Structures are given as structure tokens and as C-alpha cells.
Amino acid sequence: MSDYTSVDGAIPFECLRVDLVPGRTVIVHIDLQNDFLHDEGHYGKSGIDIRHMQRVINPINALTAEARQRGVPIVWTRHGTKGVVDGGPFMQHRPFLKDGGLRQNTWGYKIYEPLGALPDDWYVEKTRLSAFFSTNLDVILRGLKAKTVIFTGVLTNQCVAATSKDASFRDYMPIVVEECTGTTLPNLHDPAVEMMRVGWAAVSTLEDVMAQIEELPLTNSPVGD
Amino acid sequence: MSDYTSVDGAIPFECLRVDLVPGRTVIVHIDLQNDFLHDEGHYGKSGIDIRHMQRVINPINALTAEARQRGVPIVWTRHGTKGVVDGGPFMQHRPFLKDGGLRQNTWGYKIYEPLGALPDDWYVEKTRLSAFFSTNLDVILRGLKAKTVIFTGVLTNQCVAATSKDASFRDYMPIVVEECTGTTLPNLHDPAVEMMRVGWAAVSTLEDVMAQIEELPLTNSPVGD
Amino acid sequence: MSDYTSVDGAIPFECLRVDLVPGRTVIVHIDLQNDFLHDEGHYGKSGIDIRHMQRVINPINALTAEARQRGVPIVWTRHGTKGVVDGGPFMQHRPFLKDGGLRQNTWGYKIYEPLGALPDDWYVEKTRLSAFFSTNLDVILRGLKAKTVIFTGVLTNQCVAATSKDASFRDYMPIVVEECTGTTLPNLHDPAVEMMRVGWAAVSTLEDVMAQIEELPLTNSPVGD
Amino acid sequence: MSDYTSVDGAIPFECLRVDLVPGRTVIVHIDLQNDFLHDEGHYGKSGIDIRHMQRVINPINALTAEARQRGVPIVWTRHGTKGVVDGGPFMQHRPFLKDGGLRQNTWGYKIYEPLGALPDDWYVEKTRLSAFFSTNLDVILRGLKAKTVIFTGVLTNQCVAATSKDASFRDYMPIVVEECTGTTLPNLHDPAVEMMRVGWAAVSTLEDVMAQIEELPLTNSPVGD
């Protein structure tokens, strides 16, 4: 990896090492829907290289399984609009979405089935890059008394970066699991991860965050306050 | 510059070319305060290399002068808190701010004087990376009927990226002037610019945006609707 | 009606008379769901007197029919949560909701069928009194280029007052149609209407707003800008 | 007082009795500025009857003094804009503000001096009725780990109602002290208080809230979490 943070003077940040808070940890899986991950989804069928996004599938399955063991609540976000009218500049930036893709109430909008989302998990419908913007995500996290929030998903340099950043604005401690994030522009993956690491999130390996989850008490449901 | 957007498949974005809308264009200068730009400011005195941030001074002065000629409203944001309590995780990430720097009502919080901010310009006080978060920036932009918003300032990979992104969420068309942005981590400048360009903003040269401003009508004050 | 605005000194407000803007008018129907309006809904079955809420049905049907003729976009909001966790203090204030009522994905959460909501209308899922809080309502209204927004629904003193107020914060001109609003506490209806009228909204009769809609051009879809 | 909540059926609410949480209680004084409270302020000089607003002065001084004894943090909000452009529909509703009053950086914008605001208190600049809208109030309350928030100020039916309501949306427990609120339209005071009481806030007497503050530990500064 290039050294993105080499500087001449003093280092203008300190990397965070965040310990998961028992009873106050939540996982947010970002936009793991057919349109991004499935070969027949809108991105795949548009000829976009989705392999770097698909790499997240196995690590996320491992993470989700461990989290379910410990009662860590799981939130799934999905990106989509009714159409171009509520899509904003995002749609103008991505002309291949003009006539379809990332549309509410379509097959492509569903969570990719092998990831095992359950009806009783939490769901967030988003229309912009950040899953906090004009959604119920903050309502859910406050209701769950979340303090440490684990983020995975796609795209590293867009929705994952935007959502983890917005989490830090609201005083949640965001933890991004590197292997569980992917993008359509793999050359931007490493610098995006670096921006999070130096700017607004703890960046963790899957191994490390799994080890931390394993040490949580078995019942990790929200505590009193 | 590295080619951050080279991919195997179809290109998953289209760069925006945004024309300034007469009477609906506003400039937002981000965090151009002594603490970032002045040799005696908190960043400079902490030994952080601020030269890449200081490079914005001349281009921004040229831009501001031209904008004033055409009556383009100018907004100055400033980053600062009362202390650590309202600083959030941002403060934990930057231990050199624990005892000072980026504090409201200090010299370091003032706009760097050579930039010529005027009392009758617009001002925004921010406490998080994005100048839209928990501030009056959107109130001002709506009041000014803004559609195209020109962004400059520091840091490219943090407050400039975050604020221009949040502008696009609210259906403003953000235009980031590359020479007018700078950072403490110059190796992250180019990838940050690329993320904006492919994700949520038009990226412009100073020359190009100056030429566009020169073509605006002389009275560019907010129009009826 | 009591005279709620009689004062000794100067009158501290001026009532607004708002003309509908062609191509930029939207109707927002608030929380017209079975749980509030249907005899078998959660409010009715809990023994709460829902007759003042049910009075809105005919006027709203008349309004909706006229609006559809002119292509005025229609937004339906619905109030509901997954449960108590994401319900907030609202749930503590209303113990009859502890075990059901206002829950997502239930029959009671559906729009009351005689109101004729169509699949291609716009929908907003809300969890707090104001339909702007943590929802996509503002995204939709911006996308539709709305300037004048007509509000109906329940409860006058809670969700209608809160949502119309929040609309004015965002520089939309809210118009509340008096006959199309109702509440569980009829004695609070008139003062709530007065607070809107003197504080943040135009209050209109059904007759007046119908007459205005009839004068809109036949195709009222969102205009350029 | 009229009985605003008399109904035929089941009572659709339960009044909240909220105990102050030690170390997590904050007072928010709303808009106690010269323009509202001082005889020479903009409201007074415009001939508006400000006596019902002025009644809050003594009770608020008693409350503030007791709070300072116990280290309860105090937040002062102020309402004002640069002018009409950023004032929104609020300004159209109040033509007597067209040329002055509620303007930032004026004498009328300052906190009414007899209330004893201290430089080290917290301050919020607001431009709309709710002190949460586009301000740093939520940043401050989160930073202070607030759970129970005591509200006072003017106007009962506008900024106090709007701000306490918005507090409940964010899962704070709002407590409105009745004697410490006032309005320009006294006939709307009681119904506004009733709407809060049945809808989104605990309503308390000064005596009761004072007694509760007296029982807080002497050092009431924010606790760990």
C-alpha cells in the first residue's frame, strides 16, 4: 500500500483503538443488495466490475454469524429511490442509473440472499450516500443505546466512508472492518480506508473485531442506559 | 497523479460539468482560520506541516475578488468548539487539540486576515467536519436560493470532502476548485479530489471557475425564485 | 370559537394568504392509517374516541380527487416503529401502544383503504411526530421542487402541527386545510389551528384550497427549476 | 383553566413524571433576549404586550441560581438572523420584523442582563422556532450526556413548544417549567402547555423542579457515560 500519511512535520492525528462496549455495540451493513453484489444485479449487468465488492461476502457472513451468537443487533441499509426525481445529483453522476437500478421495491433493491438477513433485523432505507441522511438510522442507534458501531459494506469510498463519518459526528465510535468493505474503483479503496483511519473511524481487521465480539457477554441486548 | 479510476469494466460514473447559475451561485470558503493557515496558529505551532494548506491563499484571494465584482455571496465557515465536551470523537483523534486549538472566541478561530473577509459576508460556526452538520449553512443557502455552490478550503480529505458531499445530498451542485484546497496530508489530496470527482462534485480548475464567474451578470444577487 | 389571539397591544403576527405555485405544489396527507381512522384500528379498539379524526375522510377524498385531476403530487406519511425500542418517549407517553399499534408491517399501519392511495404516489415512513424528522420527506419535496405544500391529517395538535411547522423551517409555505385535520382531543383542535395560523402556516378552508387547485394548469408536474 | 383534555372515550395519553437524572440534567433557557423581555427591545417598542413574557424573569432567576449551586449546565438560546434572507417564512408572518428586531450582533439579540448569563455557560444561535433546527444544541446536549432537559423561555406556543417537542424526538426527556414560560398571546398559553403535557413533555411547577434540583448531588458535572 502507498504510504498516504507520510509527512514532514508532526503527525496530525492519532489512530483510534476502540473497544466494543458490551450491550451497546451494533453492526451496520451498508447497501449489500442485489444491484451491487449479484452478477445479475444492475451494476453487474451494466458491465461494471463488481469483484472487489463481492469479496465482502464471506467475511461479512463470518462477522454476522458471530454477532448473532452474542445478540449484537444488526442493521441493514439499502440504497434506492422511487426514480430520478428523488435521486438528486447522485443520478446525474451515474447515467447508467437513469432508467433503472437502485430502485425501491425491485429485486435489485433486496439484500443479497446468501447474507442471511432476517426479518427481525433492523432496516434502513436510504436515498443518499450517507445512511444517516434523512433516514431512521440515528433513531435506531439511539434506541439501541449504541456507542460502538461496526460498519461493513459498499462502496468503501462512498457510502461506507460517508456513513462512518456521519456516525462520528453524532458521537458514536465507528469501527470499519477493512476486509468487509469493497468498491467499484479498487484504486480508491486504500486511500479511502486511510482517510477514515486518520480522520473519523477506527479501522479494524476482521480477525481483530471477531476476537472482540467473541469476548462480549452472551446476551448483548441494550442495557438500561 | 496516480490513476485512481482505472477499471477493468464499464466506468461507474460520469464526471459532471456544472455551469454556474446566475443569481444562484454562492461561494463557501471552508475553515480558513488562523489555526490552520497562520504560522502562529495552533496547527503551525504544533509542528504540523501547513504548507500545502497555505498554498490556497493566493488562489482564494483571486477567486474572492472576482466573486465580489459580480455580487456572488460569500460564506466563511469556521471550525471550533467550546472545548473537548462538544468536540466529539474528532478530539480523541487529534490529541494535539486537547488543551487548545480550534476553540471558539480565540484568535486562532478568526478568519486569516489576508483573505479579506468582510463583516457583511455570511458566517457559519461548525463543530464537526461537515459545515452542514448542526449549522445554519443550509438555512443561508436556501435563503440565497443557491443552486451552484463553489467550495474552497481545508482540509481536502476532511472538511472540504465532507461539506461538498453533504451539499450534493441537499441537491445543490457542488463545485470544488482544486487549487483552492489543501491538507495536512498531501498524499491524500489527489485521491480525495478523485473521490469527489467520481462521487459527488464537479472538480474545477481556478482558471475555469474564474472564467465562468466573469461571465455572470454584474448584479448577481438572489433572484425571485 | 374562543378568541385565542385577542391581545391588549399590537398584534404580533399577520396571517398568511398563500397562493399555490403551479408546478410546485404538493399535498402531504399525514398518518391516515387504519390504526387512527378505522373502527378496528388500534386507537378505535383501545376505546379512544376517533370520531373527530374520522371527520377528515370525506374532505380528504374530495381534495385528493381534485389534486389528481391537476397532477398535483401526493405524499402519504405513516407513523410506526418496529417496537418500543425505536419509539422513544412517545411510547412512554402512550402506554396503550406498549404491546401494539403503530407498528411497521401491520394492517393497522396501512393507509385507510377508502382514501384511495395509489402505488405510484409518494410514501414516507415516520417514527416521530414530525414527518420531516429522520425521513425522506424533504428529499421528496426538494425533488418535486415544491414551494407550496398542502397538509391534511391527524392529529391536529401533534403530527399536523409538528410537520407543518417543520415545513416552514425549510422555507416551504405550508397550507393546512382545517376540515381535513382531526384529533383525539377535540378541545385542543381550535387552539392548535390558531397556533399554526399565527405562527407558521396558512390555514385554509377546503373550499378555498379546492378553488385554488382548480385554477392550476392541467399538467402540474414539477417544472425545470 | 379550560379542560382541554376532556374526552368521551379512553384517555389517549398518560402524563409523564420525570425524575432528574444526576449528572445528566441540563437547563435550556429559550430566547431570553432584550428584543423579547426588555421594555426597550424590539417587541416592546413595537407596542406588543410583553408582560406575560416578562413574568418569567423572577422564576427563571430562582431556577438558574439553584442550578448553578448544583453544577447543572446552563444553555442559553438566542433567536436571530442576518436579515430577511435567512429569516424564512417566519419573517413574512411577522411584518414588524422586516426592518429590525431579532438580528444577530445587535443589542436586542443579547440575553436580558438581569438574568445573569455567564461567559462560561453554553450558547446556541437559532434562526427558526426550534432551537434544535440547524444549530449546535444537540451537539452540546450529547456532549453533556444529557438525559433530562429542563426548558424555560418564550414563547410558550412557539419556540418553547417546538424545542421541547424536538427534544423528545431525540430521546431526551423534556421538562417544561410552567411559570418560567410566557408568550405574546396569553390566551394560547394554557392550550400550548396542555399540548406539551399530553404530547411530548413533562410539565412541572417551579416548586417541584426546584425541589428536585436541590436533591441532586453537589457536583452534577457530566458523568462517564
What is the tens place of the pLDDT at every residue in D89-148?
Answer: 999 999 999 999 999 999 999 999 999 999 999 999 999 999 999 999 999 999 999 999
Q: Which residues contact A97 (CB under 8 A, 6 or more apart)?
A: A42, A87, A90, A91
- What secondary structure, in 3-state letters, does chain A show? CCCCCCCCCCCCCCCCCCCCCCCCEEEEEECCEHHHHCCCCHHHHCCCCCHHHHCCHHHHHHHHHHHHHCCCCEEEEEECECCCCCCCHHHHHCHHHCCCCCECCCHHHCECHHHCCCCCCEEEEECCCCCCCCCCHHHHHHHCCCCEEEEEEECHHHHHHHHHHHHHHCCCEEEEEEEEEECCCHHHHHHHHHHHHHHCCEEECHHHHHHHHHCCCCCCCCCCC
User: Residue type for B29, please?
Assistant: H
Residue in A130, A168, A198 nearest the CB of B89: A168
Q: What pLDDT score does B199 carry? A: 97
- pLDDT, one tens digit per residue, over D25-41 is 999 999 999 999 999 99
Read off φ and ψ for residue A36, nearest 5 degrees.
-95, -40
Helices A206-214 and A57-69: angle between axes, nearest 10 degrees: 10
Q: How far apart are CA B131 and CA B162, in angstroms?
A: 8
Q: Is the dihedral of CA D89, D90, D93, D95 positive or negative?
A: negative
Contact C143 A222 (CB under 8 A): no
Report CA-CA distances (Å) from A56 to A52, A62, A184, B30.
8, 10, 12, 35
> Does position B221 have pLDDT exceeding 70, yes or no?
no
List, in order, residues 6 or more apart from B76 with CB less than 8 Å away.
B29, B32, B111, B117, B121, B122, B123, B124
Facing B171 at nearest CB: one of C142, C147, C170: C142
Chain B residues close to A89, C-beta within 8 Å:
16, 168, 171-174, 200
* Model pTM above 0.95: yes
Residue A35's pLDDT is 98
Q: Specify the pLDDT at position B195.
A: 98
DSSP label at residue C18: -
**DSSP result, chain D:** ---TT--SS--S------PPPTTSEEEEEE--BHHHHSTTSHHHHTT---HHHHTTHHHHHHHHHHHHHHT--EEEEEE-BSSSTTTTHHHHH-GGGTTSSSBTTSGGGSBPGGG---TTSEEEEESSSSTTTTSSHHHHHHHTT-SEEEEEEE-IIIIIHHHHHHHHHTT-EEEEEEEEEE-S-GGGHHHHHHHHHHHT-EEE-HHHHHHHHHTS-S-------
- pLDDT tens-digit map of B5-53: 999 999 999 999 999 999 999 999 999 999 999 999 999 999 999 999 9
Indicate whether B168 pLDDT > 80: yes
Q: pLDDT at residue A46 above 60? A: yes
Distance CA D163, CA C159 (A): 15
Per-residue pLDDT of C55-88, as tens digits, reads: 999 999 999 999 999 999 999 999 999 999 999 9
A222 — pLDDT class (breaks 50, 70, 90): low
Q: Where are the beta strands (DSSP E) in B31-172?
A: 74-79, 122-126, 148-154
The model's confidence at residue A192, banded by pLDDT at 50, 70 and 90, is: very high
CA distance B208 to B62: 13
Nearest CA in chain C to A105: C119
Longest CA–CA separation in chain C, Å = 52
Give the pLDDT of residue D2.
74
Q: For strands C74-79 and C122-126, give the pairing.
A: parallel
Is residue A225 over pLDDT 50?
no
With CA atoms as reference, the chain A residue closest to C82 would be A122
Residues of C in contact with A144 (CB under 8 A): 85
When CB atoms are compared, the residue of A4, A48, A166 closest to B12 is A48
Specify whether the backbone of C60 is left (phi greater than 0), alpha (psi in -120 to 50) or beta. alpha
User: For residues A46 and A101, is the Cβ–Cβ distance under 8 A?
Assistant: yes
Q: For residues C194 and C151, give the distance between their C-alpha atoms in angstroms, rounded to a whole number.
A: 15
Contact at CB, A143 and D225, closer than 8 angstroms = no
Residue type, B98: K
Q: What is the mean pLDDT of residues A150-167?
A: 98
Q: What's the pLDDT at C3? A: 87
Query: How far is Cα A113 from Cα A51, in angstroms, rounded to an integer?
Result: 17
Q: In angstroms, what CA-CA distances link D222 with A20, B208, D73, D122, D163?
A: 22, 51, 9, 14, 22
CA distance D30 to D196: 16
CB D63 within 8 A of CB D152: yes
- In whole angstroms, how far apart are CA C220 and each of A88, A168, B195, C172? 20, 42, 38, 17
Q: Grid coordinates in use for B152?
A: 474552497
Residues of A in contact with B187 (CB under 8 A): 2-6
3-class secondary structure, C175: strand
Residues paired with C149 in a beta bridge: C26, C174
Nearest CA distance, A224 vs chain C (angstrom) = 12
Flag whether pLDDT at A182 surpasses 80: yes
Give the C-alpha separation, C157 to C69, whole Å. Answer: 30
Beta partners for residue C29, in sequence order: C76, C152
Q: Three-state SS for C109?
A: helix
* CA separation for the pair D154, D182 (Å, rounded): 5
| Residue type for position D197 | R
What pLDDT, on the 0 to 100 scale, is given for residue C116?
A: 98
**What is the H or E stretch that residue B167 is in?**
helix B161-169
pLDDT for D51 beyond 70: yes
Q: What is the pLDDT of residue C225?
A: 47
Q: Report d(CA C114, CA B135) in Å as an integer.
A: 43
Looking at the complex, report in whole angstroms how far the Cα of residue D204 sits from the nearest Cα belonging to chain C. Answer: 15
Q: Return the residue matching grid coordinates 445530498.
A: B169
- The 8 Å CB, 24+ separation contacts for A123-126 are A123/A75, A123/A76, A123/A77, A123/A78, A124/A75, A124/A76, A124/A77, A124/A78, A125/A77, A125/A78, A125/A80, A125/C125, A125/C136, A126/A31, A126/A77, A126/A78, A126/A79, A126/A80, A126/A159
CA distance A7 to D49: 63
Higher per-residue pLDDT: D223 or D174: D174
Q: In the block, which residue shows the cell 443557502?
A: B141
Task: Give the relative orientation of helices D57-70 and D206-214 as an angle to the nearest 10 degrees.
Answer: 10
Chain C CA closest to residue B138:
C170
- Residues on chain C touching A140 (C-beta within 8 angstroms): 85-86
Question: What 3-state class would DSSP assign to B87?
Answer: coil
- What is the residue whose three cell numbers read 374562543? C2
- Going by the DSSP 8-state scheme, the letter that residue C130 receives in this structure is S
Q: Which chain D residues have any C-beta within 8 angstroms of a chain A C-beta? A: 142-143, 147, 170-171, 225
ipTM for the complex?
Answer: 0.96
The number of residues in chain C equals 225
Q: Under a CB-based contact definition with an 8 Å cutoff, are residues C151 and C177 in contact?
A: yes
Tell me what the pLDDT averaged over chain D comes to. Answer: 95
Please indicate whether, in this complex, the C-beta atoms of A13 and B93 are within 8 angstroms of each other. yes
Name which of A122, A127, A139 is nearest C139 (Cβ-Cβ).
A127
Mean pLDDT on D3-28 = 94
The alpha carbon of D179 is separated from its chain's Cα centroid by a whole number of angstroms, namely: 11
DSSP code for C9: S
| pLDDT tier for residue D218 given thresholds of 50, 70 and 90 | confident
Q: What is the spatial distance between Cα B25 and Cα A224, in angstroms, rounded to a whole number?
A: 49
Rounded to a whole number, what is the distance in Å from the CA of A49 to chain B's nearest CA?
A: 5
Contact (Cβ atoms closer than 8 angstroms) between residue A159 and residue A165:
no
Judging contacts by C-beta atoms under 8 Å, the chain A residues touching residue C137 are 134
Rounded to an integer, what distance in angstroms lies between the CA atom of residue C223 and that of residue D3?
48
pLDDT reading at D24 higher than 70:
yes
- Residue with the bigger pLDDT between A221 and C216: it is C216
Q: How confident is the model at residue B220 (pLDDT cuts 50, 70, 90)?
A: low
d(CA C214, CA D16): 46
